[in-house]
Amino acid sequence: MVTVRAPATSANLGSGFDVFGAALDRPADVVRVEKAERTTIEVTGYGAEFIPEDPDRNTVGAVAEALDAPAHIRIDKGIRPSSGLGSSGASAAAAALALNELYDRGLSRRELVPIAGKGEATVSGEVHLDNVAPALLGGFTVATDRDVTVVDADIPLVACLPEIAVSTRDARDVVPAGATMEQLIYTVGRAATLTTGMCRDDPRLVGKGMHDRLVTPARADLIAGYDGVREAALAAGATGVTVSGAGPGVIAACYPEDRQDIAAAMVNGFEDAGVDARAYQTKIGRGATLYRD
């Protein structure tokens, strides 16, 4: 048996739509695999009742097929599905790393990224690497169709998850089909600022670079209470706030001494909108961890 813990991730980070991603040190999924004649899946944990166990409809089933590695796969969900915290990406990344080890396929983590991306396509309908890349490689990642760049950043974060669901497909449907030159210039500037902040471990620059005028406003409309939560987090000391991935999760960059106050402010902000929520005081963390039993 091989066991892998894969972290939650936050994709986009505002200005880096479909490109930026960051691994979080918590929460996480745990995936255990054993060789079998055919692939079977068992799911337990947070939101397990909403996750299909049919290999043709589950991210890990697609990964097992891509690696030609049939197995009994047990997924213990620590990351709620439809959260904006890379739930399906974590499971896909964990399965890719575990099955690669179990069958001695000899692939590097970077080589496993597109394979895990095929698993993500089961949920979103398209291959996206902005969650699976940080889930496998850790840190802050810049994923393109040609390569993944990794920055071993150290940035404190607060991730707040309201008890509402936004599907990845629905969130993609509201993304604008085009952008003006003014929007493009603004987004490039913010993305460059965020990347510089990651390279310098500077929460102020990272927060400043999260602001986005193109994709985030459309997705924020799908999240009840978002504007109030953002304002509350900024008032509590956050350097930047944006939608995490497709939402409804909300991510805030900050200094470490402000995390507790920001977490409380974000939860209270959602409660003011009549929505229950939980907050994770976290930071940019490492990628998936492998354990051989």
Which residue reads 């944006």 in tokens? Answer: 242
Write down the catalytic residue from 101, 120, 195, 239.
120
Q: Which residues are annotated as a binding site?
A: 80-90
Asked if residue 185 lies in contact with residue 140, where contact means CB atoms within 8 angstroms, the answer is no
Residue list, annotated binding site for ATP: 80-90
Q: Tell me the residue length of the chain.
A: 293
Q: Around Cβ 221, how many Cβ atoms within 10 Å?
A: 12
* 98 membership: H or E segment, kind and range: helix 87-102
Residue 9 known to be catalytic:
no
Integer Cα distance of 152 and 137 in angstroms: 10
User: What contacts 88, CB < 8 A, 6 or more positions away?
Assistant: 59, 81, 119, 120, 122, 123, 124, 131, 168
Among 168, 195, 216, 242, the one annotated catalytic? 168
Task: Tell me the HSE value of 28 on the side-chain side, using a 13 A CA sphere.
Answer: 26
289 as an active site residue: the answer is no
Residues in a beta bridge with 31: 4, 75
Catalytic residues: 120, 168
